[in-house]
Structure 1
Amino acid sequence: MSTNDPKLQTTLADGRRLTLSLPPTDAPWAADGVAGLRPVPPTHTGRGDEPRPLPSEPPLSLEVALLGLGV
């Protein structure tokens, strides 16, 4: 891979620009530099499911002790 490889540039959906360049390396998989890379459309958009809410009251000390014993 030469040091003057072109950079891979793309624009994200929200308008931000992303530029990627790879440093020189002897790795066979990177022999083509960024020319070997291609943009891939996202597989997921947005956020996932919301996590469960935390309990409204703190655990009692006995509950904590039992959790430590693996009961």
Structure 2
Amino acid sequence: MSTDDPKLRTTLADGRRLTLSLPPTDAPWASGGVAGLRPVPPTHTGRGDEPQPLPSRPPLPLEIAVLGFGI
């Protein structure tokens, strides 16, 4: 990729290709365009832990209220 190239092209781990282009802007943080971007390897792969199963009985109103607090 040359510095004049307005597009960043990469191939994802699953074989899909990704092209990113940025429009012209006067924002100081974007002055380098896509030249300042680089592919970053993933930090997590897979799905992670399975969530807990739902209870076999209907939840009580207090349990539903507590879920709203994020506990």
TM exceeding 0.5: yes
| TM-score scaled by length of structure 1 | 0.73
Contact 2:6 2:22 in 1 (8 A): no
* Greater C-alpha radius of gyration: 1
RMSD: 1.7
SS in 2 for 1:29: helix
| TM-score scaled by length of structure 2 | 0.73
Structure 1: state its 5+ residue gaps.
none
Q: Which has the higher contact order (CA 8 A, sep 6+)?
A: 1
Number of residue equivalences: 61
Distance across 2 between alignment mates of 1:40 and 1:54: 36
What do residues 33-56 of structure 1 show as CA deviations (whole Å, max 9, x unaligned)?
001111111111111111111111
Q: Which amino acid aligns with 1:48?
A: G
Distance across 1 between alignment mates of 2:26 and 2:55: 53
Structure 2: state its 5+ residue gaps.
66-71
Aligned-residue identity in percent:
84
SS in 1 for 2:57: coil
Q: Could you list the structure 1 runs, at least 4 aligned residues long, displaced by more than 2 angstroms after superposition.
A: none
